[in-house]
Structure 1
């Protein structure tokens, strides 16, 4: 059974507030490395799994190839990633973390963990695990929606007509 519309509206409002606060915090976060902007973190975290082509990285982090290519060039110039030969197609290249890039990812992960411990100091482990479980499920459903959007040609379908709930006062 679907959730009530009022609950859906409350949840969407809270998620919008969360996203805005995360964006604001990101703008105030310290630079851990001169060559790694917070916008490139999803890229370097994705590379923790292993080398990948720029096109595969773009798909993985839900970005466009030109943006990822620009980020890769910047990260290469700072020695955080390197372009390596693709063993499946010697004409192509993959992007891989360098030892310095791996060290940066480690420092970022440890720092985030410590920050979350401080941020959620009034939570217990069960509350945090429950939240993580619900969040993982929600992110999975967002991924399914993104897949549907891609199949539909890249645009969200129109919402169903919104009923007029005003009472007729004539």
Structure 2
């Protein structure tokens, strides 16, 4: 049975509030490294999953190649990442974290874990796991929606079109 429209609207409002709160917190967070701009975090953390070409990083973070290329150059210039030969194609380069970059990611992940742990001080593990499971499912559905839009070469509509059942 599909979610009622009123419930979806309430969830939408809460998700907007979540994004706004996270952005506000990010603006008040201390800088952890002089070479790591907050806008580069997605690329930086994507590199934590392993070396990749700039184009692959752009796909991972849902951004354009020119933006990711600038962010990579900044990470490289500050010693957090390095360009290395692609073992599959010696003419190409991949980007990989340096030891300093790997250590910084570990420090940031540990810090985030402690921060979330403090935020959820009144939750038990079961509640946190349930929330994580639902969030994972929701993110997966967003990924499917994004992949479909990319495959069709189209932008997502501002509001999804009505389904046949809604139209009747």
**Fold in common (TM above 0.5):** yes
Secondary structure in 2 aligned to 1:50?
coil
1:160 CA displacement:
3.3
Compared with structure 1, are the counterparts of its residues 145 and 100 closer, same or farther at alpha carbon in structure 2 (3 Å cutoff)?
A: same
Deviations 1:80-132 (A, max 9, x none): 00000111111110000000000000000000001001111111111110000
Partner of 1:168: none
Shift of 1:42: 1.6
State the TM-score, normalizing by the size of structure 1: 0.91
Task: Write out aligned runs for 1:2-21 (5 A).
Answer: 2-21=2-21
CA distance in 1, matches of 2:36, 2:136: 26
Counterpart mapping for 1:1-170 below 5 A: 1-157=1-157, 159-160=160-161
Cα deviation digits, residues 5-61 of structure 1 (max 9, x gap) = 000000000000110111111111111111012221221211122110000000011
- 2:165 aligns with none
Between the aligned partners of 2:161 and 2:121, the Cα distance in structure 1 is 42
CA distance in 2, matches of 1:106, 1:28: 21
Q: Distance in 1 between matches of 2:123 and 2:59?
A: 35
User: Structure 1: where are the runs of 5+ without partners?
Assistant: 162-170
SS in structure 2 at match of 1:36: coil
SS in 2 for 1:35: coil
Rg larger in 1 or in 2?
A: 1
Question: In 2, Cα distance between the equivalents of 1:148 and 1:124?
Answer: 37
CA drift of 1:153 comes to 1.7
Gaps of 5+ in 2: 163-168
Distance (Å, rounded) in 2 between the aligned partners of 1:64 and 1:18: 25
Q: By how many angstroms is 1:152 displaced?
A: 2.2
